[in-house]
Structure 1
Amino acid sequence: MPSVVLANDHGAVDLATLLVEYLEKVGYTVNHLGVKTNDSVDYPDMAKIACDEYKKGGYEFGILLCGTGIGISISANKIEGIRCALPQNSYAAAMARRHNDVNFIAFGGRINYPENPVDMLDAFMEATFEGDRHQRRVDKIMSLEHSC
C-alpha cells in the first residue's frame, strides 16, 4: 500500500478527518501526525513534524493543512528538500505535480474552495512529473535553498 504523511493544526481538523478517511478508502496508508481537536497548535511545528517524517522515506507524498494552508505551506517550503504547493483548483493541483514535482500539497480547512478538496487531491495523485524542461526548472528552484 502506498503511504502518505499528513499533518494539520487546529484550523483544519475536519478537513484532515475527511482526507484521511478518503485516502484510506482508496488504498493509502496514512500516517496522521496532526491534531484531532480544536486546541491551538502552531502550524510551523506541524509542518516540521510532517516534513521530517517524510524525509525519513517510504512516503509517496505529504499533505499539510492549516486554516488557510498558507502558513503551513510557507513553513514547509523553508525545509530543505520540500516543495509544497497550495493549489486553488484541480488544474493547479495536477500542474504542481506535473511541472514542479512537488512532494507536499497543502489545503486550508477554513477556505471555501470552488472545488471539493478531495477532487483536487485526486487530480494531484493522478498526475505524474513530466521531467524534461521541468526538471531543469525544479533543479533551479531547489538550488535557491543554498543561494543566500
Structure 2
Amino acid sequence: MVIAIGSDHAGYELKEEVIKYLEEKNIKCIDFGTCSCDSVDYPDYGLKVAEAVKEGKCDRGIIICGTGLGISMAANKVPGIRAAVCTNSYMAKMAREHNDCNVLALGARVVGTGLALDIVETWLNSEFEGGKHKKRIDKISEIEKKYIYIKE
C-alpha cells in the first residue's frame, strides 16, 4: 500500500508524526507537502493528494489542516475521491467500512497526536464492506457525474 500525504501549515507537525508512524509500520508514503509551518493554502495540498489517489499513483491519502474541514472540501471536488474528516476511531472505521473513504482528513487543532495515530491505524486496518453500502457509493458517483460537466 502507498499512502499520499499532505497538509497545510497548520497540519505540518502532525503530518510529520503521521509519516513517522507510517514508516515504522513499513507503509510507503509520498509526501506532497507542505514542508514547513509557513502559511500556505490548504486547497493546493488537498488537490495534490486527491489527484495522486484518483490517478492511481497512491492507494489512499491522508490530508491534514487545522480542522480537516477545508482540506477535505478541496479534496472532495476531485471525482472519485471520498474524503472524510474523522475525529475518532469509530468514525474512521465507518468511513472505510460503509463509505469506502479513500482519503482521511484530520484536524491538527482538533485531535492530539496520539488520537490522530489511533485514527490512522483504525482507518488503515478497516476495509470496505460492499453490499448495500456499494449501492450508496454508486449513488454518490452518479451525483458527481450529474454535475461534472456544468460550467459556472
Shorter-chain TM-score above 0.5 = yes
Task: Give, in whole Å, the separation in 2 of the partners of 1:41 and 1:143.
Answer: 33
Pairing of 1:1-148 with structure 2 (within 5 A): 2-112=1-111, 116-148=115-147
Report the TM-score, using the length of structure 1 for normalisation.
0.93
Which one-letter code corresponds to 1:57 in the other structure? G
Task: Give, in whole Å, the separation in 2 of the partners of 1:120 and 1:52.
Answer: 23
Report the TM-score, using the length of structure 2 for normalisation.
0.91
Shift of 1:142: 1.5
Please say if residues 87 and 110 of structure 2, whose CA atoms lie closer than 8 Å, have aligned partners that are also in contact.
no
Match of 1:116, SS state, is: helix
Post-superposition Cα deviations, 1:84-106, rounded to whole Å, max 9, x if no partner, equal 01012101101000000011000
Which one-letter code corresponds to 2:144 in the other structure? E
Taking only the aligned residue pairs, the percentage that are identical comes to 38
Which one-letter code corresponds to 1:16 in the other structure? K
Post-superposition Cα deviations, 1:101-134, rounded to whole Å, max 9, x if no partner, equal 0110000111145x61100111111111100000
Q: Measured at CA, do residues 119 and 136 of structure 1 come closer, stay the same or move farther in structure 2, by a change above 3 Å?
A: same
Which one-letter code corresponds to 2:22 in the other structure? L
Task: Give, in whole Å, the separation in 1 of the partners of 2:74 and 2:119.
Answer: 21
CA root-mean-square deviation: 1.5
Which one-letter code corresponds to 1:90 in the other structure? S
Unaligned runs of at least 5 residues, structure 2: 148-152
Match of 1:93, SS state, is: helix
